[in-house]
Amino acid sequence: MSVHQSELSWSRAPHNIEADTYCRNHKVTLNGGQTVDVSASLDFKGEGHCADPEQMLVSALASCHMLFFLAIADHQGFCVESYDDIPKGYLEKHEKGMAVTRIELAPKVVFSGEKQPDAATLDRIHHMAHKNCFIRNSLIATVDINPR
């Protein structure tokens, strides 16, 4: 078991456009003192130059899937040269209210070396990464993987 912690800090400030409400911007501090500027999404009076919680959730899932994919591929003797993804999360109505109900991963993986996976092997590695991803196992959203 492990524990994962961050720090979140928000203080009241006026909204930069709507004077009758508050600014949603805040800071999240991660390991090593990294700070991320976070706000609500634009749809909920946030600011576009900041990450929003839904983006961070989608990014966390994509990152977790990638890390498992890389570990499994390496264990099976494949050399991954690059891995890029453009994940999308969909915030939709759900029985409990609004929720990120589905996430689509679109990984593009480039391998080097003589050992190259065929389509079935690539699908199997993605399936194993999906099955073992800690973040995926923590979500109610469906996750589709559509390799590019």
The CATH number assigned to the domain holding 99 equals 3.30.300.20
Q: Are residues 34 and 60 in the same domain?
A: no
Taking alpha carbons only, the member of 142, 146, 65 closest to residue 73 is 65
Mean pLDDT over each residue of the chain, to the nearest integer? 94
Q: How confident is the model at residue 144 (pLDDT cuts 50, 70, 90)?
A: confident
Same domain (yes/no): 57, 77: yes
Let me know if residue 87 belongs to a domain. yes
Give pLDDT, residue 134. 95
pLDDT-derived band at 124 (thresholds 50, 70, 90) equals very high
Q: How many domains does the chain have?
A: 2
Q: Torsion angle of alpha carbons 44, 47, 53, 57, nearest 10°?
A: 120
Looking at the fold, whether 40 and 57 belong to one and the same domain comes out as no
Task: Note whether 120 and 87 are same-domain residues.
Answer: yes
Domain around 26: 7-44
Question: Is the same domain home to 40 and 85?
Answer: no
User: pLDDT of 32-89, one tens digit each?
Assistant: 899 999 999 999 999 989 999 999 999 999 999 999 999 999 999 999 999 999 999 9
Residue 1 lies in a domain: no
Q: Both 62 and 117 in a single domain?
A: yes
Which class for 32: exposed (0-12), middle (13-18), buried (19 or more C-beta within 10 A)?
exposed
Q: Flag whether 81 is in a domain.
A: yes
